[in-house]
């Protein structure tokens, strides 16, 4: 009841059309190289902001209970993308192809870090030095704005 599988027709078909396979592979490699060469590289810079809790809690009288404010840690990424912070950043950093806050927002990502009190500010741009400068300025403006 054992039947043999005959692979000979498949091998004959492949060897008969080998030049089509090689041509298609070389053509695909050339197209992939051309596409990857034409795409400009994008660099990413990340600035980390740590949200620290107050170190001291003042209690004047033990009978008066001090209310501890819970920090809105989930709101910080949205606050980092606020118009006021974006306008401050746009006015100090001159980017050739970015004239509006909307275009600036397309380059920026603010998200909560691995720890609850950590905020990641990421910038993607075609120049690595400019990306690092924007990320550092963004973090500075955000910290100043939150501490006001």
Show Cβ contacts of residue 135 under 8 Å, excluding neighbours closer than 6 positions.
45, 46, 47, 121, 122, 123
Q: Is the dihedral of CA 10, 11, 14, 15 positive or negative?
A: negative
64-83 pLDDT, tens digit each = 776 655 566 778 889 889 99
Quick one: 132 and 111 in the same domain? Answer: yes
106 within a domain of the structure (yes/no): yes
Return the pLDDT at 68: 59
Residues 134 and 108 in one domain: yes
pLDDT for the residue numbered 21: 86
Domain count, the chain: 2
DSSP state of 73: G
Domain that holds residue 23: 8-38
**pLDDT band with cut points at 50, 70 and 90 for residue 23:** very high
The verdict on residue 65 lying in a domain is no
Mean predicted confidence (pLDDT) in 108-117 = 84
In a domain, 61, yes or no: no
Answer whether 0.85 is exceeded by the pTM: no
Angle at the Cα of 134 from the Cα atoms of 128 and 137, rounded to 5 degrees: 140
């Amino acid at each position: 009841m054992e039947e043999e599988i005959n692979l000979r027709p498949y091998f004959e078909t492949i060897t008969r059309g080998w030049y089509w396979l090689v041509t298609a592979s070389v053509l695909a490699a050339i197209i992939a190289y051309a596409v990857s060469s034409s795409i400009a590289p994008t660099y990413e810079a990340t600035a980390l902001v740590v949200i620290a809790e107050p170190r001291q809690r003042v209690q004047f009288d033990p009978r008066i209970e001090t209310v501890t404010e819970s920090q809105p840690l989930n709101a910080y990424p949205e606050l980092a993308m606020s118009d006021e912070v974006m306008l401050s950043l746009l006015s100090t950093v001159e980017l050739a192809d970015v004239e509006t806050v909307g275009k600036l927002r397309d380059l920026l990502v603010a998200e909560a870090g691995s720890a609850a009190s950590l905020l990641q500010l990421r910038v993607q741009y075609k120049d690595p030095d400019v990306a690092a400068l924007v990320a550092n300025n963004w973090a500075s403006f955000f910290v100043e704005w939150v501490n006001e």
